Structure formats: structure tokens, C-alpha cells
Amino acid sequence: MNTRLTAWLENSMLSRIANEGVSDPSMWGQRYDPLCPSEFYRGYATLLAQVDRELRSNPNLAALRQLIDALDLAIKAMPADERRNGANFALCNVAAYAEKGTIAQIRATLTAELVCIARCFVHNQARGL
């Protein structure tokens, strides 16, 4: 289990994710903030991608809860910046999903949310935020 955020998703990867997936308009309406710094969305997307990768290799709720606890500690140890804020926000969402959903539901939500957040990043980065 990889419990450290060692590298943020690159611009090219975020662009690819944004362009390859199907965006849910209602999720966009809930997640997009036209004033939010793009680096917040980079941190958010990076955390979602890492959790999704870990769930693919170890698809069970107990492991997910352990991952959430470990990532919480890792995020707290990072320098305070917008990427850290985004990763922390994403982790709060993932923790909420783990309380109510099955692994299949959580993975489907993470996939849709990752596409949405990548689009938020691309959109706000193009606007200079």
C-alpha cells in the first residue's frame, strides 16, 4: 500500500484524464468553483487517482480505511499550500464514501469525480488561476 503522495499529477496527465472521461454535469455543478486555484484541483485529483490505484490492487473496505488513516497523516506532514488543501478535501470526500458505499460504488464515484476534478483543473489553469 502506497501511503505517500510522492508526485503530483502533471498537467499533461490531468489534461488527458479530463479529455478521456465522461463528465457528470451535476457533479461539475457541485465541484467547480470559478475562483478556486488550479493547484487545489491538482492536489484533489492526485489524491483521488492514488486512492483509485490502491483500490484496484486491494479492493476491500478495511484496506481503504487504513489507507485513509495513513494518507491523513501524510497530508498533515506536507507543507501548507493549495495542493495540500485539495488533497485534504479529497480525502474527506473519500472517507465519507467509505462510510456508506461498497467498493464498486466508491470506485465508480472516484472515477467520475477524477474526470470532473481534472476538468476543473484544466479550466481554471487556462483562466490563469
Distances 61 to 67, 94, 107 between C-alpha atoms, Å: 10, 11, 11
Which amino acid does the sequence have at 36? C
What contacts 78, CB < 8 A, 6 or more positions away?
5, 84, 87
Is residue 49 a part of any domain in this protein? yes
User: Is 12 a member of any domain?
Assistant: no
27 in a domain, yes or no? no
Sign of the four-CA dihedral 65, 68, 69, 70: positive
Structural domains counted in the chain: 1
Model confidence over 14-36: pLDDT tens digits? Answer: 999 999 988 889 999 999 999 99
Whether 38 and 121 have beta carbons less than 8 Å apart is answered as: yes
Tens-place pLDDT, residues 56-94: 999 999 999 999 999 999 999 999 999 999 999 999 999
